[in-house]
Amino acid sequence: MQSRPFIEEAENDDDEEEKDEDDEEVGDRLDAIEETLTKMMKLMQVMVDKVQPQQHQQRVELRDIDTGNKVIERFRTDEAIERVFVEEKTFTFLYVEGEFVLLMNPSTFEQIEVSKDLFGKTAAYLKEDMEVTMQFYDGKAMSASVPPRVTCTVAEAKSHVKGLSVAPQYKRVMLDNGLTVLAPPFVEIGDKIVINTTDDSYITRHLEVDPAYENS
């Protein structure tokens, strides 16, 4: 009978140790969650999901600025997230060397080397002397973008057969940068077309303007 209090005390000690371990584990999890939520992320794509009538969620594709890893997060339409204000600078594209892009500041002629990954899929549109936009936060390059519209030359395209259908569908054509896009049936090899670099969609034919007329 005398040993019972000792046993109960020992059990209480074990419980306290387990509780301390649980609290420590919960604390670690909260720290991990807080660290994830405070990371610098770049918005890549927004998709809207209809959960219930009058209720929607946004699936957002984000890219970790530090690691480059992409994640999908869900947000309510009434949920607010903090937006980081960045510094934008314009650079002139020079060339690609491996996994890096060499750019030049047009004002100071200073050259910088940045990761090609900062441009994402739009890196395919990079052309010599193209003006690109860089975004910096606390002196660190966060992202890069090409102009929203770029003129490309059609490298491959199937010939259009007149009268084949009343409402001909768009056809796939390959551009000089290797990308494949949908274009109207009248577009042929060698044509210059204007492409929306955000979604790789056809906008219009590129019209050559006579410099004399343009400056008149």
Q: Please say if the pLDDT value at position 29 is more than 80.
A: no
Q: What is the dihedral of CA 204, 205, 211, 215, to 10 degrees?
A: -20
143 and 42 Cβ atoms separated by less than 8 Å: yes
Average pLDDT on 178-188 reads 94
Can you identify the CATH homologous superfamily of domain 87-145? Nucleic acid-binding proteins (2.40.50.140)
Q: Tell me the per-residue pLDDT of 75-102, one tens digit each, with 9 for 90 and over.
A: 777 777 777 778 899 999 999 999 999 9
Q: Please say if the pLDDT value at position 56 is more than 80.
A: no
Examine domains 87-145 and 149-214 and report if their fold is the same.
Answer: yes
Domain boundaries, the chain: 87-145, 149-214
- Percentage of residues of the chain with pLDDT beyond 90: 43
Q: What is the CATH number of domain 149-214?
A: 2.40.50.140
pLDDT at 213: 41
Largest CA distance in the chain: 110
> Can you give the pTM of this predicted structure?
0.63
DSSP one-letter string for the chain: -TTHHHHHHHHHHHHHHHHHHHHHHHHHHHHHHHHHHTS-EEEEEEEEEEEETTEEEEEEEEEETTT--EEEEEEETT---PPPP-EEEEEEEEEEETTEEEEE-TTT--EEEEEGGGGGGGGGG--TT-EEEEEEETTEEEEEE--SEEEEEEEEEPPP-TTS-SSPPPEEEEETTS-EEEE-TT--TT-EEEEETTTTEEEEEPPP--HHHHT-
